[in-house]
Amino acid sequence: MGTPWTDIQTLGALKASGYKIRSVKDELRANLIAKLKRGETIFPGILGYDRTVIPQIQNAILGRHDMILLGLRGQAKSRLIRMIPKLLDEFIPVVAGSDLNDNPFAPISKYARDLVDEHGDDTPIAWLHRSERYSEKLATPDTSIADLIGDIDPIKAAHHRLTYADEEVIHFGIIPRTNRGVFAINELPDLQPRIQVGLLNIMEEQDIQIRGFNIRFPLDLLMIFSANPEDYTNRGNLITPLKDRIDSQIITHYPKTVEIGMAITEQEAWQERTDVQVAVPYFFREIIEQVAFEARQSEYIDQKSGVSARMTRAALEDLISAAERRALINGEEETTARISDLHFVEPAITGKVELVYEGEQEGAQNVARLLIGKAVKTIFARHFPDPSDKQQRQPFAEVIGWFSKGGTVDLKPDLPFDQYAKTLDRVDGLHQVAKQCGNPNSPAELAAMMEFILEALHQHSLIGKDYVEEIGASYSDIMGSMLSSLGRFGADDDDDGFEDDEDFGRYR
């Protein structure tokens, strides 16, 4: 077994061994102290919280505090909560067969008390693994006191021919069944106030009372909650006495830098495809992450709802899938992501953001394209001369001149690599500027950088772009693209979903 203690099978042998039972909070505290002294990583895989959230959680555990994690969706609250039980002892002794994980030295359920009274030192002992000492409940409006605390079970009473005065007719809820463990409630403010009242004694007096019985059951628990800050602090959905009983309030947050966000996405996204080898140039990973940063500042998106880190994971997976699909269609065993593949990232964005009224008016797809465009523009300036600066724009002069002379580039999403590269090579100066400024590692990455340059010039309104379903992306002279759009929609038509002519010409 995991430890020498687990060979002990009776209460008498447990007493003779000198085993000491600690409270859950003392147990967590002692094990955390030991890990900190050994320099171990307490929450592996949690990135970006080293100086903020993780120290606060550790402080709460050292202080033996019940706690709540406040944060928007996709900030690893549930993952953090589920890691805390790993600080428990690997095994603890319980009275065998008890519903409440009864302490053999101080049983609280009638079943365990009767068993100890009857068998004394021969009472059978079982060993409970820490994985069985954690429970959680998603708070919903229909959650009842019976679900959480317990109630009288009339079926048990009838089956065993018991009166309602008999303690054995009690059916315990999920909280007492997690006795001597860690219990979590997610989205705490969604509990109805009358149910929240039922938690007060657990938080302060560490006991429960089932209706109809003048008996209090002392519980040994660490209580952890999670909530959205808006629901918790501003809407009055949490009763004040319960809020007062939660010792530590810990604020989570989104990644503070693109680099941390990229590391999280890299860790979480499914990228290893078996049928096709897909290369993703570094700037695509930055673009994907920058989309989330743009969304978290966008006036079109409800910032109280947040933009989950799951969005970037799904977006990267969609990007890789788009490249993989193209390779499968063309019978290629390897491929590289392209800027045109970003078109297929839109579903990952539209499904992960909540739009405000202005965003609904724009339309989810248009907002997604706007966010991608802004991300491309921002990341391009990190690696290439900034086209918005006239002095830095010089390397792109030949490219812009080629389009001003009537040149066009049509990039179908499913073009085989040879055709894709030949199409881009037609643009005067594009190959040279991509090679000199981008430092590509392969011909495929060079071609992706060439398209990256075209898209960035378009985002700076230096060349035009139309998206036609049959053709895909079509780059052309900026004036020709704007006139084409005006001819299609009319000079005064604002149904494009953007506020100004620049965005109008950019995305239609």
Q: Is 318 exposed, middle or buried (0-12, 13-18, 19+ CB in 10 A)?
A: buried
DSSP 268-313: HS----SSSEEE--HHHHHHHHHHHHHHTT-TTB-TTT---THHHH
Residue 497 — very low, low, confident or very high, per pLDDT cuts 50/70/90?
Answer: very low
- Nearest residue to 367 via CA among 496, 501, 505: 496
Question: Higher pLDDT residue, 391 or 347?
Answer: 347
Cβ atoms within 10 Å of 387's Cβ, excluding its own: 25
Q: Is 429 exposed, middle or buried (0-12, 13-18, 19+ CB in 10 A)?
A: middle
What global pTM score does this model have? 0.86
The two structure tokens encoding residue 498: 């953007």
pLDDT 10s digits, 162-210: 655 566 777 788 999 999 999 999 999 989 888 898 888 888 777 777 7
- Write down the pLDDT at residue 172: 85
Which of 161-165, 174-178, 268-272, 357-361 is predicted with the least confidence, judged by mean pLDDT?
Answer: 161-165
- Nearest residue to 247 via CA among 42, 75, 46, 62: 62
Specify whether the backbone of 472 is left (phi greater than 0), alpha (psi in -120 to 50) or beta: left
* Distance in angstroms (rounded) separating the CA atoms of residues 286 and 280: 11
Which of 3-17, 81-95, 438-452 is predicted with the least confidence, judged by mean pLDDT?
Answer: 3-17
Helices 430-438, 397-404: inter-axial angle, 10-degree rounding: 150
Write the secondary structure of 186-217 as one string of H (helix), E (strand) and C (coil).
Answer: ECHHHCCHHHHHCCHHHHHCCEEECCCCCCEE
